Amino acid sequence: MFDDRSPIYRQIADRIKADVLSGALKADEQVMSTNQYASYYRINPATAAKAFQQLVDEQVLYKKRGIGMFVSTRARDMLREQGRETFFGEVVDPMVAEARAIGIPLAEVIRRIEQHENNGGV
Amino acid sequence: MRVEVQGLTVRYGDVTAIDDMSFSLSGNKIYGLLGRNGSGKTSLMSALAGYRRPSGSVQLDGVPVFENAAAMRQVCLVRHSADAADKGDKVSYVLEYGAAWRDTWDNDYALELVDLFKIGLKTKVGELSLGQRSALGVVIGLASRSPLTMLDESHLGMDTPTRYAFYDTLLNDFMAHPRTIIISTHLIEELSSLLEEVVIIDGGRLVLQEEADVLRSRGTEVTGNASDVDEFTVGMTVLGEKSLGRTKAAMVYGALDDEQLVRARQLGLELGPIALQDLFVHLTEPVGGKR
Amino acid sequence: MKIFRHLALTLTAFCAMVAGGSFVFAVALTFVVSAFRDVEISAWNIVASQVGPWFLLFIGVYAIHNVLPIAVAHGRTRREFLVAASAFSVVLALVMTAVEWLGFLVEGGIYSLMGWGADERATQFAYLLMYLVWFTVGMLCAAAFDRFGGGGIFVLPVALALVVATRVQVPGSGNLPFVTSLPYLLGAGWYVALAVSFGVALAGTWAIAREMPIRVRA
């Protein structure tokens, strides 16, 4: 389930962030417990706890004592903002490089993007 | 359960299986004991479980374990096909020993597991397949609910679905009843996500003891132009190298600092993670690799 | 106490069952033999004085070779096991002697009913000591072979010396060529010699098994 290479807790944290961004996890919604996560992904509970701790530190999640972990109200906005900052560097630039390498004119790439725009979404 | 090993040596005649080993485990975690065949895993665990008199010291929660009734009560070691299962006995009789002699034994759980692994209660241990015998070992190990539970190569002969059932059971029981669990295995890839801490031994000596996730972040594969890779890896611990034409990949051990990351980008080198299993192979390699 | 209870409940029951089965077999065989010739010896005495000791030796081997590793694997010390096994040796020998006595009683009834003749037999005390020594010698041999491997062979002369004495005073258990007159020379001191044999076998077992490593099962 995991590639056993980069630290697993970071992969878990990334997955939860992706769920928050996509709206699968909503603001103030409770996330599964450490043990449920550990059991579901077949990972050590301490690893899952480490991922949760990272997300609490980053203010994506907050802790309610004795109840569990919840998605912060501002989590989605915050992650979107962070995503916007890195989007061009991490997604667009490599895409342009890839298009150049395989010989697709940038005009064609732009036309494709405009098609998405006209169809009203992704 | 805290485990402290100090200057442990195990010898069989002229062969030294464990050579002056020292380490300690803080406890209540799942530990992976990794080592090649003949590296001393079974000898080490046998000394931890009081199966043999240690030369050096082995202490559990601060007291020596060998022939110490109070400490022995807390330990369960299952080596390969179950020490507590006599070949001539029926499975049901094997479980009776656990119920009779272990204060912490959970018989309902034992029966539940026997059912899960599809082991016939009326079957004699000698008639079980290797995989079933290993599974019976897992039943004994987990149903013992010992504060220190050790499973030595418990996956032997298990097919893939059984192994996954074993991992799930182990994990869920550990979460329900947290305790110190030490597992030795060759199937590092499969098991590594369950481990919190890893102890690697080789040739009877301790190679390293580290949190599994930290260890995972320690190894980096540096790929690029051979001369650039060579320049970049000067002074680093290189575990292994391989070349393809002018391209070279080097496995380096140790965290990279920001300066090194920038330098790698300047040289156009690709940095990738290394799987725990590959790290293990290179850390225990007797020839070719540097420690 | 837990180890003793389990040994006493399971192994004693098993041994008594085997003895019971042997009795039925011996009586049946006697009836078969009686069809062809006169019955002049006690069949049960052959079981009690020849088969019995070997069976107890086997149980002694089983206790150390098979059960001791299980006890240690279940978190018991060798010392706890040896205490239990020592107490168990006395209980088992007593039970087997009682079974032997009961066998003679029932067999005697059948013999007088059928008008058959039986040979001499030993005192209850001789049987008891014989069983006790054979069981502990079984434990001693198993401990020696488990601990020293092939080197365990050196315990065999000792074992032989310990058991040889036990059978001299039990009729029907085979005659010894050299020491037949020994029991008569020693008189009641003979029983003391047997008790000493028991003590030596038990002490030897303790000394060897006390710190014995638990080997990986093949």
Domain boundaries, chain C: 2-209
| Domain B215-283 grouped into CATH 1.10.10.60 | no
> Which of C29, C26, C16 lies closest to C46, judged by CA?
C26
Residue B96, Cβ density class (10 Å: 0-12 exposed, 13-18 middle, ≥19 buried): middle
pLDDT tens per residue across all 291 residues of chain B: 999 999 999 999 899 999 999 999 999 999 999 998 889 999 999 999 999 999 999 999 999 999 999 999 999 999 976 788 999 999 999 999 999 999 999 999 999 999 999 999 999 999 999 999 999 999 999 999 999 999 999 988 899 999 999 999 999 999 999 999 999 988 888 898 999 999 999 999 999 999 998 888 888 899 999 999 999 999 888 988 899 989 999 999 888 888 888 888 888 888 888 888 888 888 887 654 444
Chain C residues lying within 8 Å of B80, measured CB to CB: 216-217
Taking CB atoms and an 8 Å limit, are B144 and C66 in contact across chains?
Answer: no
CB atoms within 10 A of CB C54: 12
Fold type of domain B3-203: Rossmann fold (3.40.50)
Judge: B73–C75 Cβ closer than 8 Å, yes or no: yes
Rounded to the nearest integer, the mean pLDDT of chain C is: 88
Spans of all domains in chain A: 8-73, 76-118
> By CA distance, what is B144's nearest residue in C?
C74
Partner-chain contact A2 B193, CB within 8 Å: yes
Residue B77 contacts A, CB cutoff 8 Å: no
CA distance B103 to B127: 29
Is-above-0.80 flag for pTM? yes
Residue B14's CB: how many other CB atoms inside 10 A? 5
Residue C180 has pLDDT above 60, yes or no: no
Cα(B176)–Cα(B112) distance, rounded to whole angstroms? 15
ipTM of the complex: 0.90
- The CA distances from residue A88 to A85, A91, A96, A98, A108, in Å, are 7, 5, 10, 14, 18
B212 vs A: CB within 8 A: yes
pLDDT in tens, A39-93: 998 999 999 999 999 999 999 999 998 888 999 999 999 999 988 888 888 888 8
Q: Do the Cβ atoms of A46 and B175 come within 8 Å?
A: no
The reply to whether C37 touches chain B by the CB within 8 Å rule is no
Q: Å from B175 to nearest chain A CA?
A: 7
Answer whether A35 touches B (CB < 8 Å).
yes
Query: Nearest C-alpha of chain A: how many angstroms from B174?
Result: 9
Q: H-helix or E-strand containing B56?
A: strand B55-60
C216 and chain B: CB distance < 8 Å anywhere?
yes
CB-CB under 8 Å, A5 with B213: no
- Predicted confidence at residue C218, as pLDDT, reads 66
Chains A and C touch (3+ CB pairs under 8 A): no
Interface contact B50-C72, CB threshold 8 A: yes
- pLDDT on residue A88: 86
Average confidence (pLDDT) over C139-163: 93
Query: Any chain C CB within 8 A of the CB of B76?
Result: yes
B154 CB near a chain C CB, below 8 Å?
A: no
Q: Is A47 on the interface with B (CB under 8 A)?
A: yes
Size of interface A-B (CB pairs under 8 A): 60
Alpha-carbon Rg for chain C, nearest whole angstrom, is: 19
pLDDT in tens, C66-83: 999 999 999 999 999 999
Residues of B in contact with C2 (CB under 8 A): 100-101
- Taking the C-alpha atoms of residue A33 and residue B97, their distance in angstroms, rounded to an integer, is 37
CA B245 to CA B45: how far, in whole Å?
46
Tell me the chain B residues in contact with residue C213 when contact means C-beta distances shorter than 8 Å.
46, 51-53
Per-residue confidence (pLDDT) for residue B178, from 0 to 100: 95
Length of chain B: 291
Which other chains touch chain B, taking contact as 3+ CB pairs less than 8 Å apart?
A, C
B53 to C213: CB separation less than 8 angstroms, yes or no: yes
Sign of CA dihedral A104, A106, A107, A113: positive
Interface of B with A in 88-147 (CB under 8 A): none
**Inter-chain CB proximity C79 and B67 less than 8 Å:** yes
Q: B4 to chain C nearest CA, in Å? A: 18
What is residue B123's predicted lDDT score, i.e. its pLDDT? 96
What was the pLDDT predicted at B255?
Answer: 83
- Mean pLDDT score of chain A, rounded to an integer? 87
Rounded average pLDDT over C191-205: 92
Cβ contacts of residue C205 below 8 Å, gap of 6+? C64, C82, C85, C136, C139, C140, C143
> Cβ(C142)–Cβ(C60) under 8 Å?
yes
pLDDT of residue B116: 96
Chains in contact with chain C (at least 3 beta-carbon pairs closer than 8 A): B
CATH numeric code, A8-73: 1.10.10.10
| Least CB–CB distance from A4: residue in B29, B168, B275 | B275
Q: Which residues of A touch B168 (CB under 8 A)?
A: 39, 42
Give the model's pLDDT for residue A66. 86
Taking contacts as CB-CB distances below 8 angstroms, the residues of chain A near B192 are: 4
Select the residue of A5, A7, A46 nearest B29 (Cβ to Cβ). Answer: A46
Mind telling me how many Å the CA of B237 is from chain A's nearest CA? 19
> C93 with C131: CB under 8 angstroms?
yes
Enumerate the CATH 3.40.50.300 domain ranges in chain B, comma separated.
3-203
Do A8 and B171 count as a contact with CB atoms less than 8 A apart? no
Token pair recorded at residue C197: 């044999």
The rounded percent of chain A whose pLDDT value lies above 90 is 49
* pLDDT value for C168: 67
Please tell me which residue of chain A has the smallest CA distance to B274.
Answer: A5
The runs of H, that is alpha helices, within C115-170 are 124-148, 156-167
Return the pLDDT at A4.
Answer: 52
**Ranked by mean pLDDT, which of A2-16, C6-20, C184-198 comes out on top?**
C6-20
Least confident of A56-65, C40-49, C173-182: C173-182
Separation in Å, CA of B240 to nearest CA in chain A? 17
